[in-house]
Structure 1
Amino acid sequence: MFAEISTRFIAYLAIFLFGLIVMRHGLYQLAQARLQGWLTTLTDSAWKGMLIGMLITAVLQSSTAVMVMLVGLVAARMIPFTHTIGVILGANIGTTITAELITFQIGSYALWILAAGMILLVFRHRLTYSLGSLFVGLACLFLSMSGFSSLAEPIAAFPAARDLFHWASSYSVNGMFLGAILAAIIQSSTACIAIAMGFLEDMSMSLPTAIAIMIGSNIGTCLTALLASIGTNGAAKKVAFANVWLNTLGALCFLPFIDGLASVSMMLSEHSSMQLAHASVLFNVICSLLLLPLIKPFTRFIEFVHPKL
């Protein structure tokens, strides 16, 4: 029983991550080299950097991909470290779009969307190929979400899973730690949120616990940028560390307000999945807007904490 459920869980996770990659590929084909050009020319102010970060992350459907791109551009001295903070804040907002997207109740049409995407992929025109990739990716996301929901009840029946959920719900910091570890392993905060949504739909997990996991997952995905900065210059390493500090400080500041965030999210929607998606948007938007006026002091803080980079 455990082996079967584990295999199905890994399969659904693989489908979800595959869907993200294919959808990202389709969207990227529509924008192509413009993305890097926007980063190098439109990030000279904090506000513009945040807007560009939101836009590019919405296209790539991955804040991690944007962070790796930033590390590479700073390492190549194409943009200075000080221009990246606004982009990081915007990327944190842009990555919430996928979580909102997968809450739409169109899972029953997933196979039709997949079929349409497969047909479009047959044509060699760039637009139809990009749209086909987008449709196939979306279909995979919706199919995997149905799979996560179907596994929530049998997973929650295991004593170890019940103990883990109880531990995560006992203190918000425990839930954040669980989200950070899970995101560091699978390298996708959106996948962590999708898994939490499955347990929310089955009422195996409370909304505050899911929100804590969501907040922690933002920290866990910082690992990829840290790995990408290995062997680069000091400025590029500061980008990776700035990402860690921004997400960690935002998580710690919101720690006492998780129950309040859950209450506001429940007022915005009756559906548990949408409540978590809305909480993700609220958390990232509030953190980014609060930190935006403090970019210069934050930059000096990074240079003070990591002077030898």
Structure 2
Amino acid sequence: MTAILAPFTFGLSFFLLGMYVMRTGFQNLAGKKMADWLGRFTRTPVHSFWVGLLSTMVLQSSSAVTVLTIGLTHAGMISFSQTVGIILGTNVGTTITTELIALRLETFAVPMLLVGVALWLMPRRLTRCIGLVVAGFGLIFLGIDTMQVMAKPLEQSDAFRSLFLESRHSVWIGLITGMVFTALIHSSSATTAITMGLMSHQVLSMETALAIVLGANIGTCFTAIIASIGTNAASRQVAWCHTLFNLVGALAFLPFLSQLAMVSSLLTDSPSMRIAHAQTLFNVVCSLAALPFTRQIAAAVQWLVPDRKRRRW
């Protein structure tokens, strides 16, 4: 148990700290302009989509962009209908992190961390911010490398083997595992990174790994739901739109995991890259399919999560 928990705890801590440090660096570089972008360039669904995608690429967190969107909606700076495109864009933007993780850059973890710290010690603000981004990436890859140590003892664990055998028969277990774990740690990227590590040691089947990733897409919405507590109806609609979209997309793709695995295997031989490409395909297909129907989606969510104050009047 110690051989599993120790590398998992330290690795996950390094990973989440790296995400925070990298996000802090990006926010200092462009965070102040992010709210302006979200407020000014969301007049059409296509513009909203690109704003969501680019914002998520910069902040490296779909949850952070969604929470920011909830805040702007609560403040009345943007309407709920403008946020649907942003939500679709965040789902595509978050795949950039997964693709970077799949590049297997663990050997550069320590050099990147050292370079990042050296840049952070420089006097210029721009250099310090870049240093935070570089150091953050270094911590992320160091965390991934550390978490991979748990793969061998986990593979030999009787409890995990029995769970793995059950998940082979039912992808629902993988879906729920990814959803619950991501909701607890508030990072779908961390869940995907752990899944990639297990896949590289052939501990999981491809279908099970993809089910976990789909579950992580649902679990990441938990942060937005928490952020919407105590806000107005429009803000709650943003949170539930994000949740329902990811839930419906995951359930729609669940019967086709074998086909998704086959398509991703045609693109690369690397198990980690297969997961990254499959997640990218899933998010791109779902977002682009929904983009022409943003008004209908907004109307449906407004019906499901009504504004009670307006109804009284």
Residue identity matched to 1:277 = A
Residue identity matched to 1:195 = I
**What is the aligned partner in structure 2 of residue 101 from structure 1?**
100
Per-residue deviation at 1:38? 0.4
**What is the aligned partner in structure 1 of residue 39 from structure 2?**
40
Unaligned runs of 5+ in 1: none
**What is the aligned partner in structure 1 of residue 299 from structure 2?**
300
Per-residue deviation at 1:173? 2.2
Per-residue deviation at 1:307? 2.2
Per-residue deviation at 1:308? 4.4
- For the residue of structure 2 that corresponds to 1:32, the secondary structure is helix
**What is the aligned partner in structure 2 of residue 141 from structure 1?**
140
Number of equivalences: 308
- Superposed CA offset, 1:178-228 (max 9, x none): 110110011100000000001000000011111110011011111111111
8 Å CA contact 1:24, 1:134 repeated in 2: yes
Per-residue deviation at 1:159? 1.2
Q: Does 1:227 align with 2:226?
A: yes
- Superposed CA offset, 1:240-275 (max 9, x none): 111111001111111111111101111111110011
Per-residue deviation at 1:158? 1.1
Q: Does 1:162 align with 2:161?
A: yes
State how far apart, in whole Å, the 1-side matches of 2:307 and 2:27 are. 36
8 Å CA contact 2:182, 2:191 repeated in 1: yes
8 Å CA contact 1:226, 1:241 repeated in 2: yes
State how far apart, in whole Å, the 1-side matches of 2:161 and 2:246 are. 28
Per-residue deviation at 1:8? 2.1
State how far apart, in whole Å, the 2-side matches of 1:104 and 1:208 are. 21
Residue identity matched to 2:9 = I
Per-residue deviation at 1:105? 3.4
State how far apart, in whole Å, the 2-side matches of 1:174 and 1:43 are. 38
**What is the aligned partner in structure 2 of residue 119 from structure 1?**
118
Residue identity matched to 2:261 = A
8 Å CA contact 1:201, 1:273 repeated in 2: yes
State how far apart, in whole Å, the 1-side matches of 2:160 and 2:215 are. 19
Most deviating of 91-100 and 161-170: 161-170
Structure 1 residue runs of 4 or more that deviate by more than 6 Å after TM superposition: none
Residue identity matched to 2:23 = R
Per-residue deviation at 1:9? 0.7
Q: Does 1:200 align with 2:199?
A: yes
**Same amino acid, percent of matched pairs:** 40
8 Å CA contact 1:168, 1:178 repeated in 2: no
State how far apart, in whole Å, the 2-side matches of 1:215 and 1:177 are. 9
Most deviating of 143-152 and 252-261: 143-152
Tell me the TM-score normalised to structure 1 length: 0.97
Residue identity matched to 2:242 = N
Unaligned runs of 5+ in 2: 309-313
- Superposed CA offset, 1:256-307 (max 9, x none): 1111110111111111001101111101000000111111111111122222
State how far apart, in whole Å, the 2-side matches of 1:108 and 1:4 are. 22
Tell me the TM-score normalised to structure 2 length: 0.96
State how far apart, in whole Å, the 2-side matches of 1:166 and 1:124 are. 55
